Structure 1
């Protein structure tokens, strides 16, 4: 029981520090813990779970720079409007350069453009999950600039085109999940190791 005051004090310190970080109104937050349960960084590191109607739809522009980049290590973006097409802009996540994990869930994405994730040099996990049956197209340079990526999950989606250079820029990739989807083309994919 004598450890309780110390644990409580540490918890309160963490909560106070999180409260000082400006969080957009459509996001919920919790402390980010790396797999293994430890957080070696003394700064506040957060996981944000944000719900939008769509990403850069015809009716609204999405500005990811309002998310506190210096504290956000993990981000989940959920789209509530499954009818509006979402668009990821080249370098749209550039302000989140400390991001290690990114999930985009329920957004009607038809294309991942060149340089979509450029600047996310620490990104280790990328998950793209959609409820739409529209095929997803990856431009040849869509994965450029994220050489630290270890896990890529594009399951439950039909891929219209998987260009060979889309994955060649991922030297650290150790896990590729494509189950549940199908390919319209694997245009000269070659050997993937």
Structure 2
């Protein structure tokens, strides 16, 4: 009886003093100190951590660097076992340092730029943030052919000389790419056939760049357009002054067009020609004083139209006829 009462008391007794150290030992001895920065029981490389992004259950391995030139050695420190668990990778360069980041290999190299990504066979999402990349060369990410989303944002709005130069074959080797985010890079235009290597592309984000002419995007001709499956195009916060006739006629699958926060003062009668599946159009915060009466004549699928913060005193009679939905 005395034995039982001693074990039942929480404050003293031999039973309690022996059990507590055993519990702590069992908890801590099997968890290495580095596991606080791990997933699936794998320790992360130095300077990296796992993070949830875009409300996805899948986590992203996020690594902070001075410039993207340090990415190769960092990825080289990832073991084969760790690499099998990297589906999403983010590089965040130092925000306060205006260091040029180069993706090209050194002289005489036989492998493509960013070839170190080949060590991550399951990589589907790649994000480069604040890395001051001035040139995106041909086949820049060809060593990661499974990429489905690519984000490259240098955040160079306050560094106007750091315009991103896009090689026409920059997307070579990315046939599975569905989302491309090139916002905030001081991009002035897209080279001809730039989007051709990625026929599955469904979303293109070019917001906060230096685009001045829709024609510079090369998306006018359906026969030669390389983005025939593009569904979402974001051109907001650029320097566009007009939406010309047939400027985006090659985008037959487009459902959402965002051109707010530009300087658009003129819209052609056939600016939406070819966009038969368009469901959402945002023209807010521009310099519009009028819209052509036939602008929406063939936009039967349009469900959302945003025209706020313009100078539209009166809409032409019949402009919205047929948009009953």
Fold conserved (TM > 0.5)? yes
Contact 2:146 2:177 in 1 (8 A): no
Equivalent runs, 1:47-86 vs 2, <5 Å:
47-51=179-183, 52-53=185-186, 55-56=188-189, 62-63=190-191, 65-67=193-195, 68-81=197-210, 86=212
Runs of 4+ in 1 over 6 A off after TM superposition: 7-10
Contact 1:143 1:167 in 2 (8 A): yes
Contact 1:125 1:150 in 2 (8 A): yes
**Which 5+ residue runs of structure 2 have no aligned equivalent?**
1-39, 41-57, 59-83, 88-119, 127-143, 154-174, 220-224
Counterpart pick for 2:234 among 100, 103, 109: 103
Q: What's 1:125 paired with?
A: 256
Q: What's 1:92 paired with?
A: 218
Distance 1:28 1:139, change over 3 A: same
**Which 5+ residue runs of structure 1 have no aligned equivalent?**
30-42, 57-61
| Residues 10-63 of structure 1: CA deviation (Å, up to 9, x unaligned) | 94765269822799x9x639xxxxxxxxxxxxx83421111453545xxxxx32
| Number of matched pairs | 164
- Indicate the SS of the match to 1:106: coil
Counterpart pick for 2:294 among 162, 165, 187: 165
How many angstroms apart in 1 are the aligned matches of 2:250 and 2:182? 20
Contact 1:90 1:114 in 2 (8 A): no
Bigger radius of gyration among the two = 2
- Which structure dedicates a bigger proportion of its chain to strand? 1
TM-score (norm 1): 0.68
**Root mean square deviation, CA, Å:** 3.5
Q: How far apart are residue 121 of structure 1 and its match?
A: 1.0
How many angstroms apart in 2 are the aligned matches of 1:16 and 1:135? 36
Contact 1:101 1:123 in 2 (8 A): yes
